[in-house]
Amino acid sequence: MENTFDTIVIGSGPGGYVAAIRSAQLGKKVALIEKYPVLGGTCTNVGCIPSKALLDSSEHYHDATTKFNEFGIEITDITLNFPKFIQRKNEVVQSNNKGLEYLMKKNKIVVFEGVATFISKNQIKLKKDQGEEILAFHNAIIATGSKPASIKNITLDKDRIISSTEALSFRVQPKSMIIIGGGAIGVELASVYARIGTEITIIEYEDSLLPNMDKDLGKALFRKFKKDNIQVYLGAKVTSVQNLENRTLVKFINAHGQEEEKISDYTMLAVGRIPYTKNLGLKKIGIQTDNKGFVLTNEKLQTNIPNIYAIGDVIGGAMLAHKAEEEGTFVAETIDGQKPFLDHNSIPNVVYTWPEIASVGLTEQELTKKNIDFKTSKIPIAAFGRARAAGEKDGFVKVLAHPKYGEILGVHIFGPRAADIISLGVTALVYEITDLDMTNISYPHPSYTEAIKEAFLEVSGKGTINL
C-alpha cells in the first residue's frame, strides 16, 4: 500500500526529525507527521533557537553599553531597536525551518501536516484540514514533546500572565517582568530582558537557582544576577497571580514565611514542562503512561507495545533537545536491528546565561546522597590569560572524581564558552577516561579549556601549573 511506511514519526522536534533522518539513512520508508505548518517543534520555533537568538542579541547590546569602553571602543547614543531585535529572532527561526524542509526532501521523507491518532498498533488516523486518511506502519516513534506547565489556581491567559512562548515575541519591550521559576528557561529569559533594561524579578520555590544542577552553579549564578540587578527570591511560594489589565499582581510567601506582593508589566511562568499527548489515542490502544502523563518505555525506548517507541520530552527525564536527538538516533538504529549505545548520565546539561553554565555526570549533592566517595577540584577561570584578555572575571570549573580509581564522576562549569568546554567532560565520562589520563591531553594556550586542564591536574594529585 502507498500509505504503508516502515517507520512513522509523530512530531518534528529535534528527536523526531533526527529519528526520521536516521531511519531514512538506514533505508527505511519514513513518514513524519507534524500538526503545525512548520517543522522543528518547540526547540526550533519557541524554545532553544529563538531564545539563543535573543540571548546573543542581548549580549551584544549589553557588552556595547557596559563593556566596550574598557576595550577602548567608545560608542555614544546606543539605542535598542526592539522590533528589529525580535525580527532578527524570527529570521533565525525561519532559516532553521527552511533547513529542516531541505533535509526532509534530501532524505526522501514524506511529511504530513495534521493531527495523528493511533487507532491500532499498526495504524494511525491522520486528521488534516482537507479531511482524514489512514496511514499504516511497521514501527512508530512518538516524539510529541512537551508544553509549559502551570501552577494550581494560576491561569496562563497568554496576555499578561504568560509562558516562555509569549515572552519570545513581545511587540513592545516590557519595563518590568516577574518570572516564576529559576530553572533553565526562567534564568535564560531573565538574562535576555535584564540585559536590555527590563526590570526582572525571579521567584523560585527551591532554595537555589537551577535546583537540579550542582549547588555551586546556582550560587554563582545568584551572585552574578545580583550584580546585574536581577532581584531573586529563593525558597518562596507563589500564592496567586492576578491580571490587572495592563499590569500583573503576584502574591507570594518569602523564605521567612512573610507575605509579599509585587506588581509588574508581565508575569511569566517557567515552572517546568509537561508531556504533550493530546489526541494521540494512547489509551485507545493501551499504551501505558505514568501518573504525570509521561509515556513509559523500557531500556530500548519501546512502549509496552513493542513496535511503538517514544523519545524526548514525552518520556520525561532531562528535557533537552540533544537528549531527544540521541534517543532518536538510538531508536532508529534499534529498529534497524543494531545495538546502539546510549548513556543518559553522559548527556550534558547547558544553560545559556552569561557566563554559560554546563554540567555532565553526577552533582556533589547526588554523590553525597548516594554515599559515593569523591574528591573535588574547583579552578577559577579568571586566573587564565584567555579570560583576562577577554575581560571575563567570573567563572570556575569543578571536577568530581573517584579517589581510588580516578574515574570522572561529574564536571560542572560556570564560565565563558562552558557549552563548548563541557564536551571534554562528556568524553571523559563516555570513555571512562581517568583524571590522570585527562591531564596528558594537550590543551591550547591561551584558551578557556586550560581551566578544565588545571581542574584535572588538581583532582588527580599532580598539582596545578598556573595557580
Torsion of CA 295, 299, 303, 304, to 10 degrees: -120
Cα 348 to Cα 49, 213, 277, distances in angstroms: 18, 11, 26
Preceding amide of 355 cis, omega within 30: yes
Torsion of CA 134, 136, 141, 143, to 10 degrees: -10
For residues 18 and 44, is the Cβ–Cβ distance under 8 A?
Answer: no
Of 60, 322, 344, 445, the catalytic one is 445
Q: Provide the grid cell at 211.
A: 535546583
- Quote the CA–CA distance of 9 and 39 in Å, as a whole number: 13
CA-based Rg of the chain, rounded to a whole angstrom? 24
Report the candidate in 184, 164, 156 with the shortest Cα–Cα distance to residue 319: 184
Our answer to whether residue 445 is catalytic in this structure is yes
Cα 137 to Cα 10, 55, 122, 295, distances in angstroms: 12, 41, 5, 19
Preceding amide of 446 cis, omega within 30: yes
Beta partners for residue 147, in sequence order: 274
Report the candidate in 173, 157, 40, 21 with the shortest Cα–Cα distance to residue 96: 40
Q: Which residues are identified as catalytic?
A: 445
